[in-house]
A and B are shown apart, each in its own frame.
Chain A
Amino acid sequence: MLKLKANIMRVQRTPRKEQQIDQEPVDLSLLDSLIEKYKHKKGNLIPLLQGTQDLYGYVPYEAFLKLSRETGIPLNEMYGVATFYTQFRLNPVGKHIIKVCHGTACHVQDAETITDALEDALKIEDGETTDDGLFTLESVACLGCCSLAPVMMIDGNTYGKLTGKKAVKIVKELKISERN
């Protein structure tokens, strides 16, 4: 659990109860070289966010505050962009990312049941990460192999012609192999 300090360079008011953010503390000094590189460049917002995600696997809450403080980009602008693009994550991801295709072909082949089955099996909602940190479940647009619909992709491997059961089985096997 992490407690956040308000940015001190702002108009004074009564300090608020520190917001509790459900994230592990991260080493913010990793950001220094990134900020140095992009600080005074125009159009630096997306490279900064991408660089941050490369470092931590996601954009931690604390990183937003530091980036804003040191580059002068308002927090709301960063947050707006980070939530607009699906490429950015605001929470840590699991070791394996399961991307379930919901492109047109897969949609027609009922991709929804694949997602539902995985949600049930992993006990998480779409976009979330399992408590053991192994899996993150995501819905994505077309993966480009429509003839295999419905498909999912785990760590670069594609699985096609799925049913709910098949998908769950693949994930379970992966979980067992993790244990060994």
Chain B
Amino acid sequence: MSQLVNLTIDGKPIQAPEGANLLQTALDNGIRIPFLCYHRKLSPTGACRMCVTRIKGQKGLVMACTVQVEEGMEVTAFDDELESARKRTLEYLLAEHNEHYDGTYYDEFWYWIQHYDLDIPENRHYPNIYRQMHYPVDDTSPILSYNASKCIKCFRCIKACDEVQGKNVLSFSQRGIASYIVAGIDHWDDSECDGCGECVQLCPTGALVEKPHREEINLERVEKTVRTTCPYCGVGCQLLLYVQNGKIVRADGVEGIPPNDGRLCVKGRFGYDYVAHPDRLTHPLIKKNGTFEKASWDEALDLIARKFSEIRKRYGTQALGGYGSAKCTNEDNYLFQKFIRIAFGNNNLDYCTRLCHASTVTAMLKSLGSGAGSNSIEDFAQTDCLFITGNNMIETHPVTATFVKNGQYKGTRVIVCDPKWTKMVNYADIWLQPKLGTDVALLNGMIRVIIEEGLIGRDFICNWVDGGMEAFEKLREKVSGYTPEETERITGVSPDKFMEAARIYARSATAMIATGMGLSQQQVGTNMVFSLINMMLITGQVGKEHAGIDPPRGQNNVQGVTDIGVSPINFPGYIPVGNQDNRRKLAQLWDVPFEDLPDKPGLTTVEIMNAAYDGQIKGMYIMGENPMMTDPNLNHTGESLQSLEFLVVQDIFHTETTPYADVILPAASFAEKEGTFVNSDRRVLRVRKAVEKPGLAQEDWRIVDQIARRMGYNVGQYENARDIFEEIRQATPILAGVTYDRIEHEGLQWPCPDTSHPGTPTLFLEGFKTSNGLGILNPVDYTPQTEPASPEYPYVLNTGRMLYQYHTSTMSRRNKALSDFANESYVLMHPGDVRANGFRDGDRIRLSNPRGQLQTTVRSSQQVKPGELFMPFHFREALVNKLTRSDLDPDSRIPPYKFSACKVEKVEMSGG
């Protein structure tokens, strides 16, 4: 905390931190000095000249936004001269301003025009000349419209793009009175604008207005605004939803609170249309003679209860299984896992984390005792070095990436390790581009460099690592073979690059690691993360502020669903199912006989499918998941689902999985219910109801509760989500101190063991969560892939996500803005390979291997290496998981989505 200084504004004594902005200080103290170009998040511009003040001892009028407060400062904010100067300034702006207002945005400029009575034409001195200026309109972007005749040239949009989002897409064109904003070369749609809309949110006039729903929205008719948490990725951005006619018509970022401080990405801001989409499921559906027919809740629930009970009775408790959902709230999932454990009587329950972060979590649990990210989102802007590996965060966690860019601008050294080009490469000091699947060798090579050059943290190893220097010697031995030459031979990365990267990481005062799917979705995913953690432990880049390892969670509530126990091996709070004390405690809390709570680990996601295929699992309950798109080797998954006797799918839309169901249940979307999500930095965030559920749809937890009741089990008595959360607190020690009241304004980070605990922004400051509090080194060797490229299948296919679509795109493709940006499948191929195969950019090609085949469009791009391909997995027209395999990582049971050999051929168009 910096020192406080005393000043007066209009005679009012004020205390403020030394160096604080004078305008902000005035505003914080209720003195409303007019301003237009200033914004709390941006560096001061001093363009609009509205915030002029007089400071004793200084000549002339001083713009408050450009001044820092000092001890003894005497400021005059309002007197006749200042007010008349402001009025004159406004009048000049008004003379070249298009005054037309359509009610679709909040106009700060017009507020001050009215304040100074300039809306009355008689009070003005100058004629309006905006028509003579022929100001352009750029209407080409899918998400916004720029009208230069309403622009007051305040720089807020340019600075929003540069300083907040770090994108640098906007500039002024021309000069003086003729100047206006351009994106790229004066054509918004061709520019690199990715549609985050930060500029729209910060525009003080209507020069930049968002396009979606422009026809319907009218701010005067907006019924309410609701604060909630974004339903897309795991950043957990706080949204303000505008509701008009019972429908969401706009989403803004909530300013001033973590994690996003008003920032959003294109999905968060423009991706809410799906909530009101006509495709929403509105009635329970029962399959009769092969077709789905509408049914009442009673009919559907009775059928489900009867079938599940029959299966349990006939085949035993192990014949049932369920998938929870990272898209649903903690409350929904808590009840779901309680239901599986009590009503199914087993631990055959899992969810998508198995397909994303199982290997990361497994490695982190073994080495550090906790699988959660160690830092807070703000730390990405404050660490000295960030090692980003297998993590395309500009597309998958765009708002986290903005903090990285902010840090990079201030001097964070950024190292990107990715076999495919990502936008973050543009911000990186070094880009390491290893061959697919060779990360262990690269990391071992880097560890060897760190050891050879004496860059290890000896004290840290002695005090924080299990086995101390002895354990370290074992690691040194293990990596000794990874000489720079050998590492280069395996990975294809030149030694000067990875040696420099190793030095930067080890020497930085603080360094963080952002890992991701690139490392985890591998056949040796756990080993890859082990080697990453080894590097972190020997350099001591953990256990202090702004250091550690962070695997950003892919979905909004991946973190929470694991926390509250949707896991085949853990009860709520990461307590192993075999822990008898906890089992006893839970049995009491849940009011069930101790011996009825299953203590044997259950089957994982892909294992449940395999068991279904083998006839061991007969009935399944899938809540908000779409395995027919996300599981590897989809043809096999289809056969597995087909061999089930009874399948219930609960979702908000028909998905690729619903055709296999016997009963489909309509659920409520994020905007239609109360509850909580937990984001990637372990922050428990509120989800609030904004609109009504369509048709007969119900909250997931209410449906689960009903099924349990009809099966004859009691999973609790709850009035609302808050009641369930109260029970979650009792079952989950790390969340015990979190209450709805405490997170009303902003989220709390677990562990938070009691209600007076302030939450934990950084993990491991007082040791690791292992049994003895020490970190464990796990030396590992590089192992070659079991399915390398071969003469018959010469290409290696990598899969991943893109900015504009989201996972199985059930939600995202039902938004016009997102689909306008990107709505088609493609495969990236190196230009040399494109030529060698006789393809041209844009050709339709077929990818195939023994597991399946698909057709897609080839995009010639140097973003991938020769011999490697990249495809997004969002598109049902080209189901990339028909090609991926289910050869699971032995430690974590994660499938290797990032590595499948395949061949390519041109699709000949029929009919000429």
Q: B183 contacts the other chain (Cβ, under 8 Å)?
A: yes
Q: Which residues of chain B are within 8 angstroms of A6 by Cβ–Cβ distance?
A: 190
Q: A61 contacts the other chain (Cβ, under 8 Å)?
A: yes
C-alpha gap A173/B889 in the complex (Å): 84
Contact at B861–A8, with CB atoms within 8 Å? yes
C-alpha gap A11/B170 in the complex (Å): 17
Contact at A76–B168, with CB atoms within 8 Å? yes
Contact at A75–B821, with CB atoms within 8 Å? no
Q: Which residues of chain B are within 8 angstroms of A75 by Cβ–Cβ distance?
A: 184-185, 191-192
C-alpha gap A64/B191 in the complex (Å): 12
Residue ID in chain A nearest B828 by CB atoms: A12
Shortest distance in angstroms between A176's beta carbon and chain B's nearest beta carbon? 36
Shortest distance in angstroms between A13's beta carbon and chain B's nearest beta carbon? 4
Contact of A11 among B190, B803, B820 (CB under 8 A): B803
Contact of A9 among B421, B804, B824, B872 (CB under 8 A): B421
Shortest distance in angstroms between B685's beta carbon and chain A's nearest beta carbon? 27
Interface flags for A7-38 (1: CB within 8 Å of B; 0: not) read 01111111110010000000000000000000
Q: Which residues of chain A are within 8 angstroms of B187 by Cβ–Cβ distance?
A: 19
Given contact pairs A72-B426, A76-B184, A79-B184, A13 touches B804 in the complex (Cβ within 8 A): yes
Given contact pairs A76-B182, A76-B183, A12 touches B169 in the complex (Cβ within 8 A): no
Q: Which residues of chain B are within 8 angstroms of A77 by Cβ–Cβ distance?
A: 168, 171
Give the number of A-B contacts (CB < 8 Å): 80
Residue ID in chain A nearest B187 by CB atoms: A19
C-alpha gap A80/B172 in the complex (Å): 5
Residue ID in chain A nearest B184 by CB atoms: A75
Interface flags for A30-67 (1: CB within 8 Å of B; 0: not) read 00000000000000000000000000000001001000
- CB contacts under 8 Å to A, within B372-404, are 394-395
Q: Which residues of chain A are within 8 angstroms of B872 by Cβ–Cβ distance?
A: 12
- Which of A11, A14, A19 lies at the interface centre, i.e. has the most chain B CB atoms within 10 A of its CB? A11
- Which of B185, B190, B860 lies at the interface centre, i.e. has the most chain A CB atoms within 10 A of its CB? B185
Given contact pairs A19-B187, A64-B185, A12 touches B822 in the complex (Cβ within 8 A): yes
Q: A158 contacts the other chain (Cβ, under 8 Å)?
A: no
Contact at B173–A9, with CB atoms within 8 Å? no
Contact at A14–B171, with CB atoms within 8 Å? no
C-alpha gap A8/B864 in the complex (Å): 11
Q: Which residues of chain A are within 8 angstroms of B194 by Cβ–Cβ distance?
A: 11
Q: Which residues of chain A are within 8 angstroms of B859 by Cβ–Cβ distance?
A: 8, 12, 15
Q: Which residues of chain A are within 8 angstroms of B174 by Cβ–Cβ distance?
A: 83-84
Contact at B822–A13, with CB atoms within 8 Å? yes
Given contact pairs A9-B862, A12-B802, A13-B822, A80 touches B190 in the complex (Cβ within 8 A): no
Q: Which residues of chain A are within 8 angstroms of B821 by Cβ–Cβ distance?
A: 13-14
- CB contacts under 8 Å to A, within B187-230, are 187, 189-192, 194
Interface flags for B159-187 (1: CB within 8 Å of A; 0: not) read 00000000011111111000000111111
Contact at B822–A76, with CB atoms within 8 Å? no
- CB contacts under 8 Å to A, within B798-812, are 802-804
Contact at B173–A8, with CB atoms within 8 Å? no
Contact of B182 among A9, A10, A79 (CB under 8 A): A79
Residue ID in chain A nearest B842 by CB atoms: A15
- Which of B182, B187, B860 lies at the interface centre, i.e. has the most chain A CB atoms within 10 A of its CB? B182
Q: Which residues of chain A are within 8 angstroms of B862 by Cβ–Cβ distance?
A: 8-9
C-alpha gap A19/B823 in the complex (Å): 20
Residue ID in chain A nearest B831 by CB atoms: A8
Q: B423 contacts the other chain (Cβ, under 8 Å)?
A: yes
Q: Which residues of chain B are within 8 angstroms of A133 by Cβ–Cβ distance?
A: none
Contact at A16–B192, with CB atoms within 8 Å? no
Contact at B803–A79, with CB atoms within 8 Å? no
Residue ID in chain B nearest A84 by CB atoms: B175
C-alpha gap A6/B187 in the complex (Å): 13
Residue ID in chain A nearest B395 by CB atoms: A11
Contact at A16–B190, with CB atoms within 8 Å? yes
Would you list 16 pairs from A and B whose C-beta atoms are within 8 A, ordered by A residue?
A8-B861, A8-B863, A9-B862, A11-B802, A11-B803, A12-B822, A13-B822, A14-B821, A19-B187, A74-B171, A75-B192, A79-B184, A80-B172, A83-B174, A83-B175, A84-B172
Sorted nearest first, the 7 A-B pairs with minimum C-beta distance are A80-B171, A76-B171, A13-B822, A83-B173, A75-B184, A13-B821, A74-B168
- Other than the given A11-B192, A79-B182, A79-B185, 12 more pairs (CB < 8 A) read A8-B860, A8-B862, A9-B861, A10-B192, A13-B803, A14-B821, A19-B190, A74-B168, A76-B184, A80-B172, A83-B175, A84-B172
A contacts, CB < 8 Å to B: 6, 8-16, 19, 61, 64, 72, 74-77, 79-80, 83-84
B contacts, CB < 8 Å to A: 168-175, 182-187, 189-192, 194, 394-395, 421, 423, 426, 802-804, 820-824, 826, 828, 842, 859-863, 872
